[in-house]
Amino acid sequence: MGMTENEESIYERVARLEDEIATLRSEMDVLKGTMRNKIIRYEHKLIKQGTDIESIVD
């Protein structure tokens, strides 16, 4: 049984999925950075108000 031109091989599917995973990881890194910045700004605001906090950011 041969493949038709519309079917993709398992290797092509794996390569496509690896590309999609890499894209998702990149997007997650951006989201993590954004959330980290929001947390830092919030902690800074609390400190300016005189609240004694322990940072959750590294």
How far, CA to CA in Å, does 37 sit from each of 32, 43, 58?
Answer: 9, 10, 12
Estimate to the nearest angstrom the gap between the alpha carbon of 54 and the chain centroid.
25
The dihedral sign for the CA sequence 43, 46, 47, 51: negative
Higher local confidence (pLDDT), 58 or 31: 31
Q: Give the tens place of pLDDT for each residue, 1-56.
A: 566 767 889 999 999 999 999 999 999 999 999 999 999 999 999 999 998 888 88
* Residues making up the chain, counted from first to last: 58
